[in-house]
């Protein structure tokens, strides 16, 4: 089981598939592209492109680059181009760069310092009426 250091209980409840998620940790720097269909926890420095269903940046984690995800939870630092449906910025979280989002929540102490922030259009189902033609 993965232990999340110094992250409040609301965050622990949000982690999807805790036992099977990927994680980058240690004192090193990861540079490049990383893509997964599940969750990833960043506990060190990541430079590059990151794509996952859920991205969690731990208190010691730092991401500088591009993030595409359904859900981004930040308790560390994130800078770059962010495209996600949901962003949760925890007490120690810092987000900067260009942000495309649908929903956002910021806990007291979390900071946002962005150059551009745009809300994504919600996906809606299109309904088309089909009229039955009667032959002549």
The total number of structural domains in the chain stands at 1
- The residue ranges of DSSP E strands in 58-93, in sequence order, are 62-74, 77-89
Q: Tell me, what's the pLDDT at 79?
A: 96
Give the closest residue to 104 by CA, choosing from 123, 92, 120: 120
Tens-digit pLDDT profile for residues 102-116: 988 888 889 988 877
Whether 3 is in a domain gets the answer: no
Whether 65 is in a domain gets the answer: yes
Confidence of residue 24 (pLDDT cuts 50, 70, 90): confident
Q: What ranges in the chain are assigned the alpha helix state H?
A: 9-14
Residue range(s) defining the domain that contains residue 85: 9-119
Whether 127 is in a domain gets the answer: no
Q: Tell me, what's the pLDDT at 27?
A: 79
Tens-digit pLDDT profile for residues 36-81: 888 888 989 999 999 999 999 998 899 999 999 999 999 999 999 9
């Amino acid at each position: 089981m993965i232990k999340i250091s110094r992250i409040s209980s609301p965050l622990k409840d949000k982690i999807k598939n805790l036992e099977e998620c990927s994680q980058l940790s240690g004192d090193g720097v990861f540079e490049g592209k990383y893509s997964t269909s599940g969750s990833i926890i960043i506990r060190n420095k990541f430079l590059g492109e990151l794509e996952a269903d859920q991205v969690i940046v731990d208190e010691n984690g730092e991401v500088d680059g591009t993030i595409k995800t359904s859900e981004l939870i930040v308790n560390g630092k994130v800078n770059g181009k962010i495209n996600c449906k949901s962003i949760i910025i925890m007490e120690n979280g810092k987000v900067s760069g260009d942000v495309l989002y649908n929903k956002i929540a910021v806990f007291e102490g979390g900071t946002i310092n962005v150059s551009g922030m745009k809300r994504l259009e919600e996906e809606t189902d299109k309904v088309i009426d089909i009229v039955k033609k009667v032959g002549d």
